[in-house]
Amino acid sequence: MALAIYIGRRLVFLVVALFGVSLITFVVTRVLPGNPAYLIVGVQADESTVEAVIERLGLDEPIYSQYGHYMRQVFSGDLGDSWRTKNPVTTDIADRWPATIELASVAAVLAVAWSVPFGVVSALRRRSLSDRLANVASGLGVSIPEFWLGIILILVFFFHLDLAPAPIGRSLGTVPPEVTGLYTLDSIIAGDGGALRSALAQLALPAITLAITTGAPLLRVTRGFMRETMASHHIRSARALGVPERSIVVRHALPNVLLPVSTMAAMMYGYLLGGTVLVEFVFAWPGIGKYAIDSINASDYAPVLAAVLLSACSYIIVYLIMDILHFIIDPRTRT
C-alpha cells in the first residue's frame, strides 16, 4: 500500500517534470533566431510562398497557442514531423533510439563492471596500490572530455594499431533482420556470428569511451561510500565479535554501499539513454544524440523537442524504477 502511494506520487512528479521540460524547450527553440520556413522553401522563394508556409506551420500564431497545439499533438502520440528528414519524428526516433539504447546499455554495463569492484577493493586498504590506482583513474576519468578520449581511442586503436574498425556507425557488414533494433541481440536471434562480431566491434570504442568517463565518478562514489561504511560502528562491532573479514566486506558492508551506488548508476544510465551527443557525433553513431545535433543545426524544431522530452523521460523513468526497487529492497523504507 505504501508502495502504491509512493509510485503514484512519483508518477505525478513525472508528469509535472515533463510539462516543465517541454515548456522550457519549446520556448527556447522558438525564440532562437532562424526561421524554418526559409529552410523549407529555400532562400530564393518569394515572400508570399514563405508567408504561406509560415501560416501552414502555425508559426504566425502566438507562442502559447503554438505550445497548446503541440501538447495536444504529443498527447495523441504525434511528435510532429521533421522538416529535414520529411518523416514523422516518431518514425525517426524509432529508427535511431535502438542505436542509443544499445550503446548506452553496453557502456553502462562496462562502466559498472570496472568501477564498482575497483571502488570497493580500493577502499579496503588506504594507501595501497589499488587505492593509488583508483585515485589516478578517477581523477583522469573525471577530467578527460569524452569527445577527446573518443578521438584518441580512434587514433590509437583504429589508425595506428588497426585493432578497431572504422568509426562509421553501427555496422560495416550486413545488418541482422530487425527484431529488437539492437544489432547485438538481433544477430544472436538470427544466429549470425559474423553480424554479432561486426556489431560488437563497432560498439567497442564508443562504449569504452563512455564507460571510462561515466565510470570514473561512479568509482569515486563507490570508494567513498565503502570507506565510510567500513569505518562505521556496526562494522567495528561485527569485527569485534569475530565475524570473518570476507563476511564483513560481502555481507555487512556491500549491501550498505550498493544501495546508494545503484542510484548513482541508474542516474548515469538514464543520462546515457537520452543520447550521448558528443560520443555519437565522434563515432558517427546514428543515435538520438546525433539526431538532435543534426536537427538543431537545421533549425528543425520538432525533433529537438522530441529528443529533449525523450531524454528527460528516460532519465526520470530509470530513476523511478531504481527508486521502486530500493523501496522493495531496503529494509529501512519498509516498516
Partner 1 sequence: MSAAARTAPPVLPTEPEAAGSGSVPVLDVVDLTVGFGSAAKRRSIPLQGIHLQVAAGERMALVGESGSGKSLTAAAVLGLLPDGAEVIRGSVRLDGEELVGASERRLRDLRGRRMAIMFQNPRASLNPVLTVGGQIAEVIRVHGEASRKESWSQAVDLLAEMGIPNAARRSKDYVHQYSGGMAQRAALAMALSCRPDLLIADEPTTGLDATLQQQVLELVVERVDSRDASLLLITHDIAVARSHCERTTVMYAGRVMESGPTASVTGDPRNPYTDALLKAFGTVEARRMYAIGGVVPTLTGELGECAFADRCPRAAPECRDGVPELRSLDDRRVACVKA
- For partner 1 (CB under 8 A), the number of binding residues is 24
Nearer residue to partner 1 within complex by CB, 15 or 231? 231
* C-alpha distances in Å from residue 73, one per residue of 67, 70, 78, 89, 230: 10, 5, 5, 12, 53
* Straight-line distance from the first to the last Cα atom of the chain, in angstroms, rounded to the nearest whole number: 12
Quick one: 164 or 238, whose CB is closer to partner 1?
238
Half-sphere exposure for 90 (CA within 13 Å, toward CB): 8
**Contact between 20 and partner 1 per CB under 8 A:** no
**Cβ(196)–Cβ(184) below 8 Å:** yes
Least Cβ distance, residue 1 to partner 1 (angstroms):
18
Q: How far apart are CA 178 and CA 194, in angstroms?
A: 16
Q: Is 77 in the site for partner 1 (CB under 8 A)?
A: no
Binding mask 133-162 for partner 1 (x = CB under 8 A): ------------------------------
- Is residue 185 involved in binding partner 1 (CB under 8 A)? no
Min dist CB 262 to partner 1, Å, is 13
Burial of 100 (0-12, 13-18, 19+ CB in 10 A): buried
Residue 132 touching partner 1 (CB under 8 A): no
> Contacting partner 1 (CB under 8 A), which of 44, 76, 143, 335?
335
Nearer to partner 1, 57 or 259 (CB): 259
- Residues 280 and 147: their CA atoms lie apart, in Å, by 9
- Quick one: CA dihedral 198, 202, 205, 210, positive or negative? negative
Residue 268 to residue 301: CA distance in whole angstroms: 27
Tell me which residues in 231-270 interact with partner 1 (CB under 8 A): 232-244, 247, 251-252, 255-256, 259
Is residue 103 within 8 Å of 203, Cβ to Cβ?
yes
Q: Which three cell numbers stand for residue 270?
A: 538514464
- Of 51, 55, 60, 330, the one binding partner 1 by CB under 8 A: 330
Helix, strand or coil, per DSSP, at residue 150? helix
Q: Pick the piece of the chain touching partner 1 (CB under 8 A) from 34-42, 69-77, 226-234, 292-300.
A: 226-234
329 is written with which cell numbers?
529492497
C-beta of 83: minimal distance to partner 1 in Å? 54
Stretch that binds partner 1, among 4-12, 59-67, 168-176, 325-333 (CB under 8 A): 325-333
Binding site for partner 1 (CB under 8 A): 126, 232-244, 247, 251-252, 255-256, 259, 330-332, 335
